[in-house]
Structure 1
Amino acid sequence: MKSDAERWLITGASGQLGSHLIRQLAGDPHAPTLLALVGRGSTGTPGVHEERVDLADADGLRRCVERFRPTHVLHVGAMSAVADCHERPYDAERINAEATRVLAQVAAAGGARLVYTSTDMVFAGDAAPYRETDRPRPLSIYGRTKLEGEQAVAVFDRSLVVRLPLMYGFPLSTRETTFTKQIAALRRGEPLKLFGDEFRTPVWLSDAAAALIGLARSELAGLIHVAGPERLSRYELIEGCARLLGIESPRLAAVSRNSIASPEPRPADLSLDGARFARLLPELAPRPVRPAVFAC
């Protein structure tokens, strides 16, 4: 497929990851045609057509894709707050599983390449680091519905599931994230308590976006993990970022994940093994925290 014929549809385009995808694709020298699907907010990127689409509206989503006729679909939109999914499981099912099923079907029918972002939370956290061949066992409704999305995508030959870990960095939209709120609180001198015994392999947002675009343009199908090279607790991640961003004495305390009540079990270690991706696309391998933050 020639790059000058590319037509990219991105769901969740005004979110933390979607905003980086839009910015990188909008600056692409091949100038693909972009359609950004937003649930709320805006990408704020000149020259990008936006449509407000509710992922829970299966018929509206189907019509939008059929009308645009994309060559590539990056499905990063989701109901991703674990607590919200627990409180509203029906909505989580419609958005994370059913919308993905619709997108997979309509993309395949139109010959489009679909890349679906899933999560490290499809695992239970008791056998890390997780490889692509390891059996999922989600402990939360969020993880279960994202796994259902994976299964809906897996039946189509040209589609790819990309499992991502915790992402950090600054979104290019106006939407606040947990990371931006935490850094802002530390800049104000406010104290924060963060888990010191819950581990992930975090990825800088712009690195995650570049990896997804590279994977979408590859011939790889099936399933792949994209992960940062460091296994870090939330405390270690935010403490390191705060100091790199010039916050000299961040008021941080490490606490146990068991010290805070949760309606669903919290996985202890969701570290992903990203060796396969780093081997296949080494130029897009995510950076460690220090060079990623320094480059921002």
Structure 2
Amino acid sequence: MPPRERWIVTGASGQLGSHVVRQLASAEPAAALLALAGTRDVGTPGMTVARLDLGDPAALRAAVETYRPTHVLHLAALTAVSDCHAQPERAALLNHGATVALADAAAVVRARFVLCSTDMVFDGTAAPYDEAAIPRPLSVYGRTKRAAEEAVAGRPGMVVARVPLLYGRPLSDRPTTFVQQLAAARAGTPLRLFTDECRTPVALPDAARALVALARSDFEGLIHIPGPERLSRYELVARAVALLHITTAQLVPISRLDVPAAEPRPADLSLVGTTFARLFPELVPGPVRRAVLE
């Protein structure tokens, strides 16, 4: 019998992390799991939880070198674009510095390491983007995530997985933007949504399954995990509203140029997922219809 897997998952109490740890905890046999979380409850029994500051590289390295995992899945980051713009040094520490510390420690204990990155490393002018496309981030968030990617690139046993806009129902106590939008639609509250900002959105459970499979595989390098549909934010919510027969919705189409922003908003960050589909055909993320109606 192979040795039991030992996982460290950062951002375990987040929207994506809560789905990842639920999948790992429910597997047979269940993996041993150290969940590195912030202040929120992880909400999944059967695991060890450590409250660590993502901005403390020494503590992160010590956690990995003490626990000696077989797999490290790094999901945690400062993801709010406005927060990164307002606090660029903190964004660099949390998004790049933490990645370096965790990847270095993973190399010491010879653990598989997967960094969850973002489509925001692109400028939105040359979509759709495959793995060979040249990153040109427009925001502090995108630049710090690109720096994290570069810190991992080329290391044996390490993966950079770019994930686009995520949507769906969370397992944590923090509601997703998508859930809040559907609640507003049901309440008849007007929702202003961009028609000219496009992504290839992925449902949270699909993204979690894909990342766990990548960590368990022998793939190394860069890979994209997009959804199958190129959708604007308006189209994503409108499709969900129609599928759920929400008749009270008031969706207001607007341009991203109508809303002032400290940094430019990329127009089209659609990703190409042929590499992932070839390697994991059974795990290709599904369309909005499947995610909403399941």
| TM-score of the pair, normalised by structure 2 | 0.98
Tell me whether 181-190 or 213-222 shows the greater mean CA deviation.
Answer: 181-190
Deviations 1:223-278 (A, max 9, x none): 00000000000000011112323412411011001000000011000000011101
The match for 1:144 is 143
- Aligned-pair distance for 1:30? 2.2
The match for 1:43 is 42
Deviations 1:14-59 (A, max 9, x none): 0000000011111011211011111120111111111101100111
Matched, 1:274 2:273: yes
Count of residue pairs brought into register by the alignment: 294
The match for 1:61 is 60
Amino acid at match of 1:271: S
- Aligned-pair distance for 1:62? 1.1
Cα distance between partner residues in 2 of 1:118 and 1:245 = 31
Secondary structure of 1:114's aligned partner? strand
Cα distance between partner residues in 1 of 2:74 and 2:109 = 16
The match for 1:111 is 110
Cα distance between partner residues in 2 of 1:246 and 1:33 = 42
Amino acid at match of 2:131: E
Secondary structure of 1:229's aligned partner? coil
Cα distance between partner residues in 2 of 1:133 and 1:38 = 33
Q: Conserved in 1, the CA contact under 8 Å of 2:65 and 2:108?
A: no
Q: RMSD across aligned C-alpha pairs, in angstroms?
A: 1.1
Amino acid at match of 1:198: E
| TM-score of the pair, normalised by structure 1 | 0.97
The match for 1:32 is 31
The match for 2:179 is 180
Deviations 1:77-102 (A, max 9, x none): 00000000000101100000000011
Cα distance between partner residues in 1 of 2:118 and 2:109 = 26
The match for 1:262 is 261
Cα distance between partner residues in 1 of 2:293 and 2:36 = 31
The match for 1:231 is 230
Cα distance between partner residues in 2 of 1:68 and 1:180 = 35
Cα distance between partner residues in 1 of 2:245 and 2:16 = 24
Cα distance between partner residues in 1 of 2:47 and 2:80 = 27
The match for 1:125 is 124
Percentage of pairs with the same residue: 57
- Structure 1's unaligned 5+ residue stretches are none
Amino acid at match of 1:53: L
Q: Conserved in 1, the CA contact under 8 Å of 2:36 and 2:51?
A: yes
Q: Conserved in 2, the CA contact under 8 Å of 1:243 and 1:250?
A: no
Over 4 Å off, 4+ runs = none
Secondary structure of 2:174's aligned partner? coil
- Structure 2's unaligned 5+ residue stretches are none
